[in-house]
Amino acid sequence: MATALPTLPADVTDAQDAVAAVAADLARIDTVARHAIEAARSGEAGPDGPGLLHVLIDAATERPEYTDRLIRDELVTLLVAGHETTATTLTWLYLLLDRNPAAREQALTAGVDGSPQRRQAIQALVHETLRLYPSAWILPRHATEDDTLAGYAVEAGTDILVCPYLTHRDPELWPDPEHFAPRRFTTPDGRPSHPGAYFPFGIGPRACLGVQFALRESTVLLEHLLPAYSLAFSSTPTKAVYGITVRPDGPTPATLLPQS
């Protein structure tokens, strides 16, 4: 896990250069965010009308805690945590369907459009994708008190890395763990009962606040996309790359094919 963690650019050679590199990246982010906030504040709306950024700006007129800094932080959090993660998950899902085309048909034939049965089957596609490629593949945690973990003494103040990616592929928890099998999440006793066996959004009081948003967003998109289109990939990745998220190791060009 540690060797796969993101590193600074190769041309960064000392601490001072590292600080400067990070500061430059943050400055670029701040510039983009500032322009977006100014455009929204001036009344500029997107093609579908006002968005969440406008809601935040409107809230600032009544709630003094909604400073420009807080609005900037909310915007960047939404883009980083609520955009790339969902997009990457759907990319992996379609790559998995490309290798397992029967899974798409099973989801669509589980029920008619809009039925609870189809929605459950589509949600199972999402859950099985998140099992194999969890958006948050590694989670840092901080021990606030002494404890024992799997027989190892953990002192208070210790930083711990928890890895859903490895847990979700543990054969002692998940039979045939490398196999894409969405029915694990629709079949009784198809998934482990232990609550720590599946946690793509973390677990406990520090779990991701956006879990329901992400699942709902992915499900709604797939309810519209799966029946109407399929994807034909020009090339597919050979492996995964581990950064902030788990993503394919290269471009995944594809053709969108309408379904009759």
Query: Annotated active-site positions, please?
Result: 85, 201, 208
- Single-letter amino acid, residue 221: L
Q: What separation in angstroms does the CA of 150 have from each of 49, 141, 203?
A: 53, 16, 18
Scanning the chain, the segments in alpha helix (DSSP H) are 15-41, 52-60, 68-79, 85-99, 101-108, 116-132, 164-167, 211-228
Distance CA 111, CA 97 (A): 19
Burial 120-137 (b: 16+ CB within 10 A, else e): ebbbbbbbbbbbbbbbbb
Tokens 């089957």 correspond to 121
Distance CA 81, CA 72 (A): 14
Q: Which two tokens stand for residue 254?
A: 């594809």
Q: Which two tokens stand for residue 155?
A: 């002192």
β-pairing, 229-233 with 147-149?
Answer: unpaired
Distance CA 131, CA 80 (A): 21
